[in-house]
A and B are shown apart, each in its own frame.
Chain A
Amino acid sequence: MKADVRQPVGGGAADAMPGEVLLSVKDVSLSFGGVKAIRGVSFDIKRGEIRAIIGPNGAGKTSMLNVINGFYHPQEGTITYKGQARQQMKPHIAASQGIARTFQNVALFKGMSTLDNIMTGRTLKMRRGLLAQAMYWGAAQREEIRHREFVEKIIDFLEIEAIRKTPVGKLPYGLQKRVELGRALATEPELLLLDEPMAGMNLEEKQDMSRFVIDINEQFGTTMALIEHDMGVVMDLSDRVVVLDYGQKIADGTPAVVQNDQRVIDAYLGVAH
């Protein structure tokens, strides 16, 4: 059980062998009616790495994340996570197995404070029954306080102490993205899916966010899959890159290899759309 608060975030990484495959996607196809969003894509994510998924608009990147965390159920193919194959999974089950994510258009609970938003990430770690909570007494209260301490550590880590009590709807966009990252971290994920974490940010905010991504990866060993449009960021951060175009995989490898791949240059880097 990783519910104790000694270790700030992440966890499960210390005992992991680097290089072991955490998640593999095999021949996955997904379509909505006649629209084929993903066509027979296979790739894997190794423990401890930062894996970028790139591609032009409509390439199927977000659909891929939605498949991994169970929002979409692919018509074909299998997903193997921690050695177990699965085809259908509800998102809250995926979350309970250690898959957390952020969203392309920030999806926060707007009426709630920063603190409460991040506290929702602790939902699965809290064990007290409904009745005990309703009484808000004894063990339930102690549990609440214990998790509150954990969340404070995340708040320190992300340097958002000043906005702890602010309703997130009032925060600027860059900070909202950071709160969303905090909520995902609060679940102590083994696999963190980031959907365009730097979209719409200015240079300074991008640098901050890049630093957090690297720190999370290095300090807690959290495995990450990252969708990003800023090529500079992708090349700097990621260990390996998979490139999608029109729902198909067109390249897979280290940033240097992918950058020089002719199909990628044609589809994405070189040719104007």
Chain B
Amino acid sequence: MVSLGQVLEVLSSGLLSGVLYSLVALGFVLIFKASGVFNFAQGAMVLVAGLALVRSLDFLVAKGIPFGFAILMALLFASLIMALTAWVIERFVLGPLVNQDGLTLFMSTIGATLVLEGLAQLVFGSDVYPLRLFPTDAWILLENLFPGGILVNKLDVWGALIAGVLVAGLAVFFQNTKTGRALRAVADDHSAAQSVGIPISWIWFIVWLVAGLVALVAATVWGTKLGVQFSITFLALKALPVLIIGGFTSIPGAIIGGLIIGAGEKLAEVYLGPYIGGGIEYWFAYVLALAVLMFRPQGLFGERIIERV
């Protein structure tokens, strides 16, 4: 029997986990918007950020440094690592490939993925490292309204809050600041941007840095949820349908796409699962993306691509 309380519980947990997909998708959108590159390495960047964070945190705590201060230091260290990654990618991977075909740039990010994954595990180790930044227990809400109440995971709520702050911050940054404007300018027209004095290589560094920091944020939440481990890179695959549904060029699209997929796959698992066999959660997102591709290839919020022939 389907009860309202159960529907609400499934829906809320779906929506909240959807926000976590959005966190990963955001990194893709940022780079795609600003440089037209589909960055296959985003998942690897989440791994690098997570490993840098958890390993330095463990190290500092073992040294007897108080936990709160150690977290700050570890976040700072991980941010520096992401800045270094951004610089190296701009300087040695994308920089030499300016004005090349989009597919060439995409292939180069696959190369970057392999190097980042290998290097990160070589330097920081390849075990599963537990991360405890956020509470992982649950609240039981509205117990007087529904029998048993509604179970809400605290970590998911944290994730949603952080994603909200991040999106608001990025929106202000893109809309109202000189660098945000320069980012949009470079995305639209390279030579015009250069002609008003915008240095493209610096802008690309900034883009990759911001994407790296978004990866770090994603790593804090996902690392707490799953532990920091290699399989975190597969999040990139989960972000793909989010991007297709929301549109590759839209920050709000990444959020809405994540919500649709999160809620959709949980609802499908619980209410369709019993009839057509379980495990829907694993493929539902991709089928949904396929349907969107057939009817609205630019995604729900993407820019319509009109090509002149």
Give me the interface of A with B, judged by CB distance under 8 Å. 69, 71, 90-92, 95-96, 100-101, 103, 107-112, 116, 119-124, 126, 128, 130, 133-134, 136, 140, 144, 183-184, 186-187
Contact = CB atoms under 8 A, between A and B. Distances in A.
Contacts of B199: 90, 92
A100 B173 contact: no
B196 A107 contact: no
Interface string B174-212: 001111111011001101111111111000001000000
Contacts of B197: 92, 95-96, 123-124, 187
Given A124-B197, A136-B173, A112 B178 contact: no
B134 to A, nearest CB: 24
Interface string B129-166: 00000000000000000000000000000000000000
Given A107-B192, A120-B182, A136-B176, 13 more contacts: A69-B195, A90-B194, A91-B195, A95-B197, A103-B195, A108-B192, A109-B189, A111-B184, A120-B181, A120-B198, A123-B182, A130-B179, A187-B197
11 contacts: A92-B194, A95-B195, A103-B192, A111-B303, A112-B184, A120-B181, A121-B196, A136-B172, A136-B176, A140-B177, A187-B196
Contact of B195 (A101, A112, A122, A130): A101
A213 B4 CA distance: 70
A111 B173 contact: no
A100 B181 CA distance: 18
Contacts of A186: 196
A144 B177 CA distance: 7
Nearest to B192: A107
Contacts of A108: 188-189, 192
Contact of A95 (B180, B185, B196, B206): B196
Contact of B198 (A71, A92, A128, A130): A92
A9 to B, nearest CB: 14
A133 B173 contact: yes
Given A95-B195, A108-B192, A120-B196, A134 B184 contact: no
For B192, B199, B200, the residue with the greatest tally of chain A CB atoms inside 10 Å of its CB is: B192
A69 B177 CA distance: 26
B179 A133 contact: yes
A7 to B, nearest CB: 19
Contact of B181 (A96, A119, A128, A187): A119
Contacts of A183: 196
A103 B188 contact: no
Nearest to B177: A133
Contact of B176 (A96, A124, A126, A144): A144
For A71, A109, A111, the residue with the greatest tally of chain B CB atoms inside 10 Å of its CB is: A109
Contacts of B180: 133
A103 B177 CA distance: 25
Contacts of B195: 69, 91, 95, 100-101, 103, 107, 184
Sort A-B residue pairs by CB-CB distance and give the 5 closest, nearest first: A95-B197, A107-B192, A91-B194, A109-B188, A133-B177
Contacts of B188: 108-112
A81 B176 CA distance: 34
A186 B196 CA distance: 9
For A71, A92, A110, A186, the residue with the greatest tally of chain B CB atoms inside 10 Å of its CB is: A92
Contacts of B176: 136, 144
B169 to A, nearest CB: 8
Contacts of B206: 130
A69 B182 CA distance: 19
B191 A116 contact: no
Contacts of A109: 184-185, 188-189, 192-193
Contact of B196 (A111, A112, A123): A123
A85 to B, nearest CB: 21
A91 B98 CA distance: 15
Nearest to B33: A111
Contacts of B194: 71, 90-92, 95
Contacts of A140: 177
Contacts of A130: 179, 206
B288 to A, nearest CB: 27
A116 B177 contact: no
Contacts of A121: 196
Given A123-B196, A126-B178, A103 B185 contact: no
A133 to B, nearest CB: 4
A92 B180 CA distance: 17
Nearest to A118: B196
Interface in B255-280: none
Contacts of A116: 181, 184
Nearest to A121: B196
A100 B196 contact: yes
Contacts of B192: 103, 107-109
B269 to A, nearest CB: 38
A179 to B, nearest CB: 11
Nearest to A128: B178
